Chains A and B, each alone.
Chain A
Amino acid sequence: MIEFKNVKKLYPNGTHALNGINLKIEDGEFVFVVGHSGAGKSTMMKLLLREEKLTSGRLKVGDYDLAKMSSFRVPYYRRELGVVFQDFRLFHDKTVYENVAFAMRAVGTPNKMIRRRVPAILNTVNLADKQKCFPKELSGGEQQRVALARALANNPKIILADEPTGNIDPQMSLEIMNLLVKINKLGKTVIVVTHEQSLVDYYKQRVVVLKDGVITEDRVGGMFE
């Protein structure tokens, strides 16, 4: 479970990015976080990724209390998360297989396990036949699927997707979203930060609306207004 309790984030330049967020996301939920630029979506992601520390309040992700967590534990906490970015952030000098394997190697997964698991994950994102391709040989949607496979590589409990469809065409966007829904049905909590109204409206999942650092709306099956 993810729980924000009166979470505030004040940046050193004086910007109040979050002004007392209260939010509870149960395990296995699918949540859209929407809002315009400057609403606080990115800050929320950064807090969840523990890239930034909250100024006050309490943020719990599973057994981890992010306000009190020592730097030493941060890498272990991040293994509970799978992250997908708008710009994919793939290694262009590595094949699809190597891109996914890299995430596993970075946390010390034995080679035997990597060899067994990577093809299975690529199969989940429908890229089994593209293992040996390099990212530049793939479409935007396929690249994002590789990024998704990498996010799944270490079997995280939570998937954080920051504008996952921002760089791909609408048809591919639907593919990615369908995959995220599929992953959610496998029992993972999925949080998608987006500003694409059509997608949010289409999937009718829980929608959390942020405006000026506060939650203005939180509805299940909600629409982007």
Chain B
Amino acid sequence: MRRYSPSYFVSQAFKGIFRNGVMSFASVAVLMSCLVVLGGFALLVHNINVNLEQFGLLNEIEVFVEYNATEEEILAIEEKIRSLDNVANVVRTTREEAFAEAKEEFDGMEQMFENDPEAVNRFSDSFTVTYADNDKVVTLAYLLNQIDGVRKVNNRMDLATTISSFKQGVLLIFTWFLLILLVVTLFVIINTIKLSVFSRRHEISIMRYVGATGWFITMPFILEGIIIGLFASTAAYFIERYFYFYVEKMVMSDLQMITMVPFEAVQMPLLYGFLGVGVLAGIVGSSISLGKYLKA
């Protein structure tokens, strides 16, 4: 059994990279830029999803009953709400509880409430209705409005819809960017490897004449592509990490209503994703450049 030395392939791959230093650098730079942009989009989409989920936790409709509703009427309303389709949970807040919450919220203005003995009557009992299916929320809101004794129905559907549309838009842009950038990256890698192959054409022809197999000839070039991919993905990871911390800091100080996923939670999938895309781009790029050399 003949054996091939892995160190030979690796050394040849590095030689190829340094022989066409400028093109190799260009390949790494372009692939790295693509990965940073792709990673940025992926993180953005992920963060939107997490925020949407949080809004999802607020997949709640507030149902306010009439101010003068009796306990029996309120219980009947609750019964009706519970019987509706798409209702996952119902929690009642009495007017007294609502009043207490308001007092807490307007901390320091207790006097305003104390001077108004009717203040508690300005509140009404309410139900927090959690729904299961976002798509059926319009129907549910309508049905809740139809219940006798219901004064007002509030939901966050509009906000959720807006964010969802934004996410769809981002996803669309992300997909196009992904395609365009991958094509550009592949093009640059293909040219880099082609240059490498061209500068070693003499060597390749001798290898063919002495009976080197196709994979022996092509392996250094495939490895060259893989090394380019590895360099690009590692660099992209650290750049992305820096940007993420920067954005996180900015969001934490200026946009506190937005939740950002901690980088630690996404760093491994991001790194593996970068390595996967980088290495795959390297392999595909070099394989395309080497097509004819794989033939005897």
Interface set of A (CB-CB < 8 Å, partner B): 49-50, 71-72, 74-79, 81, 83, 89, 91, 102-103, 105-111, 150, 153-154
C-alpha spacing A108/B210, complex, angstroms? 11
With A71-B295, A89-B205 in contact, do A106 and B2 touch (Cβ < 8 Å)?
A: no
Q: Determine the chain B residues whose CB is within 8 A of the CB of A102 once the complex forms.
A: 206, 210
**Interchain Cβ contacts under 8 Å between A and B, 8 examples:** A50-B296, A76-B211, A81-B209, A91-B203, A108-B2, A108-B3, A111-B5, A153-B210
Residue of B2, B8, B205, B213 most packed against chain A (CB within 10 A):
B213
| Chain A minimum-CB-distance residue to B217 | A106
Are B202 and A89 in contact (CB-based, < 8 A)? yes
Are A107 and B210 in contact (CB-based, < 8 A)? yes
With A89-B205, A89-B206, A111-B5 in contact, do A106 and B212 touch (Cβ < 8 Å)?
A: yes
C-alpha spacing A150/B207, complex, angstroms? 11
Of A50, A71, A106, the residue contacting B210 (CB under 8 A) is A106
| Chain B minimum-CB-distance residue to A80 | B211
Of A71, A72, A83, A108, the residue contacting B209 (CB under 8 A) is A83
Interface residues of B in 191-217 (CB under 8 A from A): 202-203, 205-214, 216
Residue of B5, B206, B216 most packed against chain A (CB within 10 A):
B206
| Chain B minimum-CB-distance residue to A85 | B209
| Chain A minimum-CB-distance residue to B295 | A71
Q: Determine the chain B residues whose CB is within 8 A of the CB of A78 once the complex forms.
A: 208-211
Residue of B8, B211, B213 most packed against chain A (CB within 10 A):
B211
Q: Determine the chain B residues whose CB is within 8 A of the CB of A110 once the complex forms.
A: 2-3
Q: Tell me if B4 is interfacial: C-beta within 8 Å of chain A.
A: yes
| Chain B minimum-CB-distance residue to A49 | B209
Are B296 and A71 in contact (CB-based, < 8 A)? yes
C-alpha spacing A75/B4, complex, angstroms? 15
Q: Determine the chain B residues whose CB is within 8 A of the CB of A83 once the complex forms.
A: 209-210
- Chain A proximity mask over B147-176: 1 for CB below 8 Å, otherwise 0: 000000000000000000000000000000
Q: Determine the chain B residues whose CB is within 8 A of the CB of A79 once the complex forms.
A: 210-211
Q: Determine the chain A residues whose CB is within 8 A of the CB of B210 once the complex forms.
A: 78-79, 83, 102-103, 106-107, 150, 153-154
C-alpha spacing A178/B8, complex, angstroms? 36
C-alpha spacing A41/B206, complex, angstroms? 20
Interface residues of B in 27-65 (CB under 8 A from A): none
Are A108 and B214 in contact (CB-based, < 8 A)? no
Instruction: Report the minimal beta-carbon distance from B19 to chain A, rounded to whole angstroms.
Output: 11
Q: Determine the chain B residues whose CB is within 8 A of the CB of A105 once the complex forms.
A: 5, 8
Instruction: Report the minimal beta-carbon distance from B221 to chain A, rounded to whole angstroms.
Output: 15
Q: Determine the chain A residues whose CB is within 8 A of the CB of B203 once the complex forms.
A: 91
Q: Determine the chain A residues whose CB is within 8 A of the CB of B212 once the complex forms.
A: 75, 106-107
Instruction: Report the minimal beta-carbon distance from B15 to chain A, rounded to whole angstroms.
Output: 10
Are B2 and A107 in contact (CB-based, < 8 A)? yes
Instruction: Report the minimal beta-carbon distance from A113 to chain B, rounded to whole angstroms.
Output: 10
Are A108 and B4 in contact (CB-based, < 8 A)? yes
Of A72, A91, A150, A154, the residue contacting B211 (CB under 8 A) is A154
C-alpha spacing A192/B209, complex, angstroms? 17
